[in-house]
Structure 1
Amino acid sequence: MGSEVFSYESLVHAVSGAVGSVTAMTVFFPLDSARLRLQVDENRKARSTPAILAEIIEEEGLLAPYRGWFPVICSLCCSNFVYFYCFHSLKASWLKGKQSVPSTDLIIGIAAGIVNVLVTTPLWVVNTRLKLQGSKFRNAAIERTNYSGIRDAFVQILRDEGVGALWNGTVPSLLLVLNPAIQFMIYEGLKRQLRRGVPRELSSAEVFIIGAVAKAVATTVTYPLQTIQSILRFGQSNIPRDESKFLSSLKTIRCLLASKLRMYGVLGLFKGLEAKLLQTILTAALMFLLYEKIVSCTFSVMGLGNNYNKKR
């Protein structure tokens, strides 16, 4: 098993996934800013994504949609490196050259997601705080924060809230490992259907479309939990601090979901979904396209292109 886990092939997949995701997120970052603002700021009325972005630019400046870009990119790079590395090394160890099936892709995706969550959650907590810092909220109950950067955010959170705060939102994140697992299951399944046993490289259009379809399904199914995850990472969930110490994470999630339902109805659980779908579908589609091209080019340069296509 060690040869599959510590292999050059797994490293190529990890680096390609990280580069592809960072590039795609940079292109569509403003859409993610609009999504996060709608999820966290409960008093902001849900409107179209262009209207939200125009409002942010008017009130906070031209570069406001790119606020927090650097910590997000750092977190995303680390997160996707870990996920792609775990996914492909576990897959190689499990299958040992055999053809995969959807159930196997799902199980491996969940396992890779759990490892990824436990390792990278502190980075995502910090980048959520930095991304929302300086924002003009409609909800007056949200407290202002003052972080000078990634390191300062880590120091302040540790000092004021304790080590556990760096893993805020871990439970919904663990539940949300279904998101990339479902995404990869659908993506790999559609890829096998298009190839139909013939070892060939998919066209750019095919990769883009199946990447978009896979992410659209995964995002829609898990979106309510993504909203709760963002609120918990922001650290201002409106649950009394003395009470929250005695609440389990699952009870906290249940309370937040119930509160959303009571105040805004079922549609409140999907507030910001338009912005999220627009951002995540385009980002995932571009990421998979870049990922496949980088992997294919790397193995071709190494003279392993045919072997790589056969394995897929």
Structure 2
Amino acid sequence: MSLEVFSYESLVHAVSGAMGSVTAMSVFFPLDTARLRLQVDENRVAKSTPAILAEIIKEEGLLAPYRGWFPVICSLCCSNFVYFYCFHSLKGSYLKGHQSTPSTDLLMGMAAGIVNVLVTTPLWVVNTRLKLQGSKFRNADIRSTNYSGIFDAFAQIVRNEGVGALWNGTFPSLLLVLNPAIQFMIYEGLKRQLKKGAPRELTSIEVFIIGAVAKAVATTVTYPLQTIQSVLRFGQLNESTEKSKLMSSLRTIKSLLVNRARRYGVFGLFKGLEAKLLQTVLTAALMFLLYEKIASCTFRVMGLQNAHHKRR
């Protein structure tokens, strides 16, 4: 069966990816809370993941590490559905049944990432705000917010900051399409190496390891931009008066990177990387494992197991 843009196979990949990512994120959600707090709250002294989680629980309650879980899960589900659907449908349409290459995986990953960013950025802006709402910050310049839920956050942001605020951080997000693109390129490349031309289903440990390796490389390479993305989504910066949105975005990103480097040194650009790697590597590894198992079981029921493994 040819994998076209509007095929059932693309839908299976999309649903499997969404289900896998939601389950994995739910398991490791406190680690993402620690990562985001380290990125946004620059004056926080605690630098290790256990230390900051202990601080959050002590100051804000036992459930504080799970604050904002629902909007994050909703955003992640939509985001991964869009990404997996676009990646596999574009890749299948381009290859038309032939085996992929690393350059093809990178190109298709970037294309899927661009579509994903443009469609889902408003969801990520809202979930960043909700996740940080009610937090006890060390940085006195951070303004408190009062959103009662996802829809109220959307309404308040549009009313007080304009519709464009829902796409805060879009430019660094577009640059960050390299993250999942690199991740999928490494992941798919390692899968091909492990299979070595023989169509077979990888073991759970193999999928977990190559998923972890792929995400670790992609995260480390793009982490400084991820920090700037989180700051911009939180919406605590003064509005730019420049007419050119592109030039304004470029100058804002440059200013944030330079200021953070001057204030904390080069390693300040990687503040929170430990928490991010711990969270994202474990989450990605578990996500790929669940994704592969869900997709494999579905294709087996559909009678498409061999075609699925040969194409990948």
Return the alpha-carbon distance in structure 2 between the equivalents of residues 83 and 242 of structure 1.
31
Deviations 1:179-224 (A, max 9, x none): 0000000000000000000000000000000000000000000000
SS in 2 for 1:10: helix
Return the alpha-carbon distance in structure 2 between the equivalents of residues 307 and 90 of structure 1.
17
Return the alpha-carbon distance in structure 1 between the equivalents of residues 248 and 61 of structure 2.
40
Return the alpha-carbon distance in structure 2 between the equivalents of residues 56 and 63 of structure 1.
9
Contact 2:14/2:83 (8 A) holds in 1: yes
Shift of 1:242: 5.3
Count of aligned pairs: 309
Query: Aligned partner of 2:239: which letter?
Result: R
Deviations 1:28-67 (A, max 9, x none): 0000000000000010124210111011000000000000
Change (3 A) 1:241 1:215: same
| Greater alpha carbon shift after TM alignment, 207-216 vs 257-266 | 257-266
SS in 2 for 1:6: coil
Return the alpha-carbon distance in structure 2 between the equivalents of residues 136 and 163 of structure 1.
28
Structure 1 equivalent of residue 274 of structure 2: 274
Change (3 A) 1:79 1:242: closer
Return the alpha-carbon distance in structure 1 between the equivalents of residues 98 and 297 of structure 2.
23
Contact 1:244/1:252 (8 A) holds in 2: no
Return the alpha-carbon distance in structure 1 between the equivalents of residues 297 and 3 of structure 2.
23
Is 1:241 the counterpart of 2:239? The answer is yes
Contact 1:215/1:281 (8 A) holds in 2: yes
Unaligned runs of 5+ in 1: none
Contact 2:3/2:9 (8 A) holds in 1: no
Unaligned runs of 5+ in 2: none
Is 1:89 the counterpart of 2:96? The answer is no
Structure 2 equivalent of residue 203 of structure 1: 203
Structure 1 equivalent of residue 192 of structure 2: 192
Contact 1:46/1:271 (8 A) holds in 2: no
Structure 1 equivalent of residue 135 of structure 2: 135
Return the alpha-carbon distance in structure 2 between the equivalents of residues 105 and 112 of structure 1.
10
Contact 2:41/2:139 (8 A) holds in 1: yes
Change (3 A) 1:114 1:52: same
Change (3 A) 1:265 1:134: same
Shift of 1:125: 0.1
Shift of 1:311: 1.5
Contact 2:3/2:92 (8 A) holds in 1: no
Change (3 A) 1:55 1:245: farther
Query: Aligned partner of 1:255: which letter?
Result: S
Matches within 5 A, 1:144-183: 144-183=144-183
Matches within 5 A, 1:1-312: 4-237=4-237, 240-241=238-239, 243=241, 248-312=248-312
Shift of 1:139: 0.2
Contact 2:3/2:96 (8 A) holds in 1: no
Query: Aligned partner of 2:140: which letter?
Result: A
Return the alpha-carbon distance in structure 1 between the equivalents of residues 142 and 222 of structure 2.
25
SS in 1 for 2:100: coil
Change (3 A) 1:268 1:245: farther
Shift of 1:241: 2.9
CA RMSD of aligned residues (A): 1.2
Return the alpha-carbon distance in structure 2 between the equivalents of residues 113 and 183 of structure 1.
11
Question: Which aligned runs of 4 or more in structure 1 are off by greater than 4 angstroms?
Answer: 242-247
| TM-score, normalised by the number of residues in structure 2 | 0.97
| TM-score, normalised by the number of residues in structure 1 | 0.97
Contact 2:183/2:215 (8 A) holds in 1: yes
Return the alpha-carbon distance in structure 2 between the equivalents of residues 152 and 189 of structure 1.
43
Return the alpha-carbon distance in structure 2 between the equivalents of residues 229 and 85 of structure 1.
24
Return the alpha-carbon distance in structure 2 between the equivalents of residues 243 and 257 of structure 1.
20
Deviations 1:119-163 (A, max 9, x none): 000000000000000000000000000000000000000000001
State, as a whole percentage, how many aligned pairs show the same letter: 83
Change (3 A) 1:242 1:201: closer
